[in-house]
Chains A and B, each alone.
Chain A
Amino acid sequence: MMNWFQRRGRTIIIAIPMLWLLIFFLAPFFVVFKISFAEIARARPPFTPLFSWEESRLLISLSLENYAYLWDDTLYVKAYFSSMKIAFFSTVFALLVGYPMAYVVARSSDRWRNILLMLVVLPFWTSFLLRVYAWIGFLKGNGLINALLLKLGLINEPLIMLQTNFAVYVGIVYTYLPFMILPLYANLTKIDNTLLEAAEDLGASKFVSFMTITLPLSLPGIIAGSTLVFIPAIGEFVIPALLGGPDTLMIGKVLWTEFFNNRDWPVASAVATAMLVLLVLPIMWMRRAAEEEVS
């Protein structure tokens, strides 16, 4: 039985987070959408108004030029596909590095398992920015890796690693590795050991039982870990900005440059709108579809 007061209370409780999200999460996208139709101008804020009154008539000026520009200037299309490529291969590398680690943690004794898990989680709680920064000292021309290789006589002159796409891959795999390991670990611990024992009794080698039992059963973990790495990697700004070079094209960096360096708010807004439609909406749709499949 719900009386009037309780129904009121319920509405108020729903309204608090709902209003907060409507104002500070949803409304901003409409503002960005609106500004993406404006033109850059020397004004404050630096774009032309969409609506103006002239002789008591409402003038609406919509410009599709920003979107035409995104399409014409190959930079943006290239950046979009390059982000996809970098995020995809980083995810594959993170899986290759993370899977053995998750496997070993999941199969270790109780005592070791807690310690190893702690070791996996610890870097995640330390500053993301500082972990990316740590690689600068490793990868640069007179950095640690080059010094080591030179001393060992493996190379004659320093390798150029910093400010390349290679450095970006290393940075992404490094910073997002815990996101790959944790869901994989959670999945691998759930696999029924009796299946493996049965396979062994029937004479299957370790390799065969891994390929036919463990790997297929860990597919949900692989998918969960991969999405957790792929999604943040695709819009990444810090890693390409610190480790990548001028020719490292990633859409997050392009938007940043458009806004902070070129101060072109309408084009930056158009980039954001395009990213939202071509990147975020498909990801959300896929997640929804996956969730429905599960339930």
Chain B
Amino acid sequence: MFFRILSVFGFFFLYAPIAALVFYSFNASKLVTVWGGFSTKWYGELFGDPQILGAAWISLKIAFISASISVVLGTLAALIMVRFGRFKGRTLFSGMITAPLVMPEVITGLSLLMLFISLQGLIGWPVGRGLSTIVIAHSTFGLAFVAVIVQSRLVDMDKDIEEAASDLGARPVRVFFDITLPMILPALVSAWLLAFTLSLDDLVIASFVAGPGASTLPMVIFSKVRLGVSPDINALATIMIGIVGLGIFCATLVMLRKSSREG
């Protein structure tokens, strides 16, 4: 009972700030303590701001491309770890796919930037920094998260079907595309979503490796909120929470349906 009361406070703690953001996005007054009446003017301001819209578009592009690269590379990495047995450099390899999970973002960002700058001096690539350098950075840390998810799925998976297929003469590539891939597909979808979200959310690494031209959405938000509360960011937060909430709600509904059908 005691825990129940505590956890009510816990959920309140979790949701009060979010509720306040949503509430104040409709407040006509700029001050959080004054209710100036219901208004959607901050939404108007938000959609009239080319800087925020441009940054949002850049962020979505980066997140889409880097999540896709992460899933391809991360799935390969997971397959190698689970199905390939011993090979030269395995310890190094497994270290490199788990290290990004514990690496502070400031270190990842700084070191990648230093690499890009010295590469530019040595071989003339990449020319300047922008979208492509952010994509590379996000793909690299996304890879680690994808590898963890896919690895645990592969470990749980029944190996018999794969073995049966190869006993019947299917080549490894065929086994992968006909058997393994369809079985791990749900894991790939959630891994892609995670990589997408992490990329969309990243401020620190992008700030280091972005050139002067490319500002991502978190970079624009950060420079705005550093100066204090700004109501159009409340409106932006409300929209994002709405999209995520809807997505999670639908996913939960699907899951509940599935489990009630099975049970």
| A-to-B contact residues, CB < 8 Å | 6, 9-10, 13-14, 16-18, 20-29, 31-32, 35, 45, 97-98, 100-101, 103-105, 114-116, 118-123, 125-131, 133-138, 140, 142-144, 147, 174, 177, 231-232, 234-235, 237-238, 241-242, 251-252, 255-256, 259-260, 265, 268-269, 272, 275-276, 279-280, 283-284, 287
Measured CA separation A6–B226 after assembly (Å): 55
Measured CA separation A29–B111 after assembly (Å): 6
Which residues does chain B contribute within 8 Å of A252, judged by CB atoms?
A: 104-106, 204
Which of B7-15, B45-53, B153-161 makes up part of the contact surface?
B7-15
Provided the pairs A28-B112, A133-B221, A284-B95 are in contact, do residues A114 and B106 lie with their beta carbons within 8 angstroms? Answer: no
Specify the main secondary structure of chain B where it touches its partner. Answer: helix
Check if B96 sits within 8 Å of A26, measured CB to CB: yes
Provided the pairs A10-B84, A21-B140 are in contact, do residues A31 and B256 lie with their beta carbons within 8 angstroms? Answer: no
Which partner residue on chain A sits nearest B75 by CB separation? A17
Measured CA separation A175–B221 after assembly (Å): 17
**Distance (Å) between the CB of A260 and the closest chain B CB?**
8
Can you list the 7 inter-chain pairs with the closest CB atoms, starting with the nearest? Answer: A235-B104, A28-B111, A134-B17, A100-B6, A28-B115, A100-B3, A104-B7
Measured CA separation A284–B14 after assembly (Å): 30
In the complex, which of the residues B24, B99, B197, B218 contacts A137, with contact meaning CB atoms closer than 8 Å? Answer: B24
| B-to-A contact residues, CB < 8 Å | 2-4, 6-7, 10-11, 13-18, 20-21, 24, 31-33, 73-74, 76-77, 79-80, 84, 87, 89, 93, 95-100, 102-108, 110-112, 114-115, 117-118, 121, 136-137, 139-140, 143, 172-173, 197, 200-201, 203-204, 207-208, 218, 221-222, 225-226, 228-229, 233, 236-237, 240-241, 244-245, 247-249, 252, 255-256
In the complex, which of the residues B20, B96, B102, B226 contacts A134, with contact meaning CB atoms closer than 8 Å? Answer: B20
Measured CA separation A129–B206 after assembly (Å): 13
Provided the pairs A28-B114, A125-B197, A133-B225 are in contact, do residues A280 and B237 lie with their beta carbons within 8 angstroms? Answer: no
Which residues does chain A contribute within 8 Å of B121, judged by CB atoms?
A: 45
Measured CA separation A136–B6 after assembly (Å): 24
Which partner residue on chain B sits nearest A21 by CB separation? B96
Which partner residue on chain A sits nearest B226 by CB separation? A242
Check if A130 sits within 8 Å of B221, measured CB to CB: yes
Measured CA separation A114–B233 after assembly (Å): 31
Check if B102 sits within 8 Å of A283, measured CB to CB: yes
Provided the pairs A235-B104, A237-B105, A252-B105 are in contact, do residues A125 and B221 lie with their beta carbons within 8 angstroms? Answer: no
In the complex, which of the residues A131, A241, A272 contacts B107, with contact meaning CB atoms closer than 8 Å? Answer: A272
Provided the pairs A31-B114, A134-B18, A237-B204 are in contact, do residues A98 and B10 lie with their beta carbons within 8 angstroms? Answer: yes
